[in-house]
Chain A
Amino acid sequence: MSVEDEAVTEPGPEPPGGDGGGRSLIDEISGRGVDLRSAVLLPFLAVVTALLVSGLIIALSDLDSLRLLDEDPLEAIGDMLDDIWSAYAALLEGSVGSLRAISETLTSATPLIFTGLAVALAFKAGLFNIGANGQLLMGGMAAIAVGTRVTGLPGPLVLVLAVLAGLAGGAVWGFIPGLLRARTGAHEVITTIMLNFVALNLTLWLLKTRLFQVPGRDDPISRTLDPDTRFPGLGGLLDRSDLRVHFGLVLGVAAVIIVHWLLTRSTLGFQFRAVGSNPDGARYAGMSPAVLTVVAMSIAGALAGLAGANQLLGLQYRAFPGFGGNLGFDGITVALLGRSNPYGVLGAALLFGALRAGGQEMQASTDVPIDLILVVQALVVIFIAAPPLIRAIWRVKTPEAMGTATATTKGWST
């Protein structure tokens, strides 16, 4: 680690301006030593830039206006601006424009909180968890199995057991790559990617077994949860039972607080961060990087498993192929935008949740597909990871601490 740290200097177009050249990505995303201004300014500019670029994509994908461009340039450009304006207006309306919109934003943000934390916690321990997708699926399947098949107990108790099962299912799927890393050195990036696909196929198979399937049906859809084994809705508090936001949000916020406490106040969290920033030093201080790797990956997996439980217990009430979507990969973008700080993750999840909810509205009321949100997310992360880009575009004097993000990852087999 130390060798790389020395080798890293600012290669940006401008002189570093007193930039602390030795900052590693771990420092960068863990937000160590980052002051408030840079923690807010950089993400803000990244989001604005991403929205501008996406606006350009909306305009350039409007073929009718493009054809008009030769005959009547002003009219065509006007049309394009209209496109962008109406799309972004719908995006705003659908994310924060009404109580319902806010509820949708919170509902979309909830799973992102969990997967974001799953990635962020692993980052802190120096691990790159690309496996949140698979962990989420296994957690969700475990939760729905308990939720639909445990009988003879009161509903709320079954619900608690289902949440615990989700936690455990995800933890197992995080434990495996952790153990492989600790015992054999197999790189967690490779093993978690592969386990994602194993989980995907396992889920497809499980959904066709009698444990999950509705009796008498052939389709790969699980039984449905009884109403009293679902997360209670939060809309009732406002006398709006039509709102979809549910108890999972409370769990998510609790998870943020607990993970923050774990990382900053507990011995275990200290050890995670020590191993993450300097494994050799941590070993010298008497910690066991192997054990910490396994524990960190298991906890990360458990958090992602909660995301799966949250989706099924609070929103879908039954499992079906692809119920996990791409939430695990979204979690990576959330963790990067939130710089692996639990509260940063919460903020990033709310932002991406708002984009997601607004994107639904955008797709429904204008003909701009919601997939644009993925583009926005990807661009935001690129700009976050390469601050010199932002610096060059906006000509801002960034604070020193906004140094470069550098590599954490070494070869697969080290």
Chain B
Amino acid sequence: MVDVTAATIDPSARLVAGQVERRRAIGYGIFYFAMASITALVFALGSDGDARFGLARPQDRFSDFPDLVIPAATFGWLLAIVFAGLGAAQFAAGFGRMRNLVLGIALALFVFGFLSWAASGASFSLVGMFQETVLRTVPITLGALAGVMCERAGIINIAIEGMLLGGAFVGAIVGSALNSWVGLFAAGASGALLAWVLAWLAIRFQVDQIIIGVVINIFVLGLTSFLALRVLTENPDLNSATIFRRYSIPILGDIPFLGPVLFDQNLFVYLSYALVVVVTYLLFSTRWGLRVRAVGEHPRAADTLGVNVLRVRYINVMLGGIIAGVGGAYFTLGSVGRFDENMTGGRGFIALAAVIFGRWHPVGVFAAALVFGFADALQQKLAILQTGIPSEFLLMAPYLVTIVVVAGLVGRSRGPAAEGQPYVKQ
């Protein structure tokens, strides 16, 4: 992700870039002071009593694992001092290359300060919260991995939402009619089919890829809602699949706190861990991955070296479709077992956001999905704590973060160079 801007070429542009850089540094400083003020005025002054965070569940092997007790007000003051210090340091010298890392850590601390304030005088199951986070991360991760597979090969995939929804629907029906494993495979196949349509229209007819994506989304929404009403309401036996139950991995699942959060989950969670590793390995450590990235960055050059550009694109898009289809099955086979109209509710677009926020890298995408999943889980759990913070603002967070990242206000996210452009062999 090298930032190739006009600044490297044009000296006057470099001057402008310098001004932008200075303005950005000032912005960071002000941001730290703002965090310090909120922490002091809201979190520190508004806290009453200790916040008690549960780190274990009754059914865990180490269920007597002690709770984390934080004196919320003191913690708030401490954080305010840290943030003010960071702001001062930013104005004095800046953090250079560490800037975004420092910002990330500061934001994590800020969120924790927020939780302490929200849970002050009460107890709050942190383990439950993080378990929910990991679970909610699944469709976003798988959808975003699908996006990475497509976009690394130069095909824009706006249709993630449609592929998720299609996978959810097919998974539910086939899972009910036959069994859940077949349902899972069928969901993957449905994703592949939609992906093939995307690739075929984009490559064969060179239709604008964003238009195809939008249309696939509308098509799948219409078709699944239509069939759900026409077929499933009269045949409820076709809409009651056995779900994949939670399975605690031996030993790993017994680790205090991390065990229940990471290793007492269902198949889809483990599948998403595995796919993050596999896709990373394939894309960055194999000859195949090198070809894929070449096709996404500079298809002409790849073609010259004997890579079959169009074939690579077809294969990648369809592999992505399989991943998204399986991710869609999470909604039915991994969660409630039945299909409801438009049940993905925009997760595919959050996945798209995660692709950008995660900078087109599987690991980055997973981290982004965790952040978005956390926001999702938080808004659900906050209702219990009655903080008065509207859940809508937390639901907005992933989208706002993405806008900030795309606009380059914090860091810069750049996609593969040949994205969205049809390739014609000469």
Residues of the A chain whose Cβ atoms lie less than 8 Å from the Cβ of B227: 61
Residues of the A chain whose Cβ atoms lie less than 8 Å from the Cβ of B349: 193-194, 197
Contact check, B417 vs A208: say whether CB atoms are below 8 A apart: no
Contact check, A369 vs B402: say whether CB atoms are below 8 A apart: no
Docked CA distance A382–B198 (Å): 11
Within 8 Å by CB of B356, from A12, A326, A412, lies A412
Contact check, B400 vs A194: say whether CB atoms are below 8 A apart: yes
Residues of the B chain whose Cβ atoms lie less than 8 Å from the Cβ of A185: 408
Residue B107 at the A interface, CB < 8 A?
no
Residues of the B chain whose Cβ atoms lie less than 8 Å from the Cβ of A205: 390, 392-393
For chain A, which range describes its interface: under 10, 10 to 19, 20 to 34, or 35 or more residues?
35 or more
Q: Mark A297-322, 1 if CB is under 8 A from B, else 0.
A: 00000000000000000000000000
Within 8 Å by CB of A8, from B223, B400, B417, B422, lies B422
Of the stretches A101-109, A223-231, A238-246, A370-378, the one at the interface is A370-378
Instruction: Given the known inter-chain contacts A194-B400, A373-B222, A412-B406, please indicate yes or no for A25 contacting B208, CB distance below 8 A.
Output: yes
Residues of the A chain whose Cβ atoms lie less than 8 Å from the Cβ of B396: 197-198, 201-202
**Max chain A CB contacts within 10 Å: which of B211, B392, B393, B415?**
B211
Contact check, A191 vs B406: say whether CB atoms are below 8 A apart: yes
Instruction: Given the known inter-chain contacts A329-B218, A382-B215, please indicate yes or no for A11 contacting B421, CB distance below 8 A.
Output: no
Tell me the smallest distance from the CB of A28 to a CB of chain B, in Å. 9
Contact check, B408 vs A198: say whether CB atoms are below 8 A apart: no
Residues of the B chain whose Cβ atoms lie less than 8 Å from the Cβ of A404: 205-207
Q: Mark B397-426, 1 if CB is under 8 A from A, else 0.
A: 001101100111100111111111111100
Q: Mark B227-255, 1 if CB is under 8 A from A, else 0.
A: 10111001100000000000000000000
Tell me the smallest distance from the CB of B315 to a CB of chain A, in Å. 19
Docked CA distance A81–B66 (Å): 69
Residues of the B chain whose Cβ atoms lie less than 8 Å from the Cβ of A407: 206-209, 420-422
Q: Mark B194-230, 1 if CB is under 8 A from A, else 0.
A: 0000000100111111111011111101110111011
Contact check, B409 vs A371: say whether CB atoms are below 8 A apart: no
Within 8 Å by CB of B210, from A373, A377, A379, A409, lies A409
Q: Mark A180-213, 1 if CB is under 8 A from B, else 0.
A: 1001111101110111011001101100100000
Tell me the smallest distance from the CB of B123 to a CB of chain A, in Å. 28
Docked CA distance A201–B241 (Å): 32
Of the stretches A33-41, A110-118, A149-157, A385-393, the one at the interface is A385-393
A7 closest partner in B (C-beta):
B424
Residues of the A chain whose Cβ atoms lie less than 8 Å from the Cβ of B215: 333, 378, 381-382, 385
B423 closest partner in A (C-beta):
A7
Contact check, B201 vs A374: say whether CB atoms are below 8 A apart: no
Residues of the B chain whose Cβ atoms lie less than 8 Å from the Cβ of A88: none
Tell me the smallest distance from the CB of A25 to a CB of chain B, in Å. 5
Contact check, A201 vs B211: say whether CB atoms are below 8 A apart: no
Docked CA distance A389–B197 (Å): 13
Contact check, B214 vs A408: say whether CB atoms are below 8 A apart: no
Tell me the smallest distance from the CB of B258 to a CB of chain A, in Å. 32
Residue B395 at the A interface, CB < 8 A?
yes
Residues of the A chain whose Cβ atoms lie less than 8 Å from the Cβ of B419: 410-412
B224 closest partner in A (C-beta):
A371
Contact check, B403 vs A368: say whether CB atoms are below 8 A apart: no
Contact check, A412 vs B415: say whether CB atoms are below 8 A apart: yes
Residues of the B chain whose Cβ atoms lie less than 8 Å from the Cβ of A193: 158, 349, 352
Docked CA distance A408–B420 (Å): 8
Q: Enumerate chain A interface residues (CB-CB to B < 8 A).
A: 4, 7-9, 11-12, 25, 57, 61, 63, 128, 130, 180, 183-187, 189-191, 193-195, 197-198, 201-202, 204-205, 208, 326, 329, 332-333, 336, 367-369, 371-379, 381-382, 385-386, 388-389, 404-413
Taking A61-B231, A63-B231 as given, write out 9 further A-B residue pairs in contact, using a Cβ cutoff of 8 Å, ordered by the A residue number: A180-B403, A180-B406, A186-B407, A190-B402, A191-B407, A198-B396, A385-B205, A386-B201, A412-B156
When A and B form their complex, which 5 residue pairs have the shortest distance between CB atoms, in order from nearest? A374-B222, A378-B219, A411-B419, A371-B225, A205-B392
Q: Enumerate chain B interface residues (CB-CB to A < 8 A).
A: 156, 158, 201, 204-212, 214-219, 221-223, 225-227, 229-231, 234-235, 346, 349, 352-353, 356, 390, 392-393, 395-396, 399-400, 402-403, 406-409, 412-424
Can you give 10 A-B contacts (C-beta < 8 A)? Answer: A4-B421, A9-B424, A12-B205, A184-B406, A194-B406, A198-B403, A374-B222, A385-B208, A404-B207, A405-B211
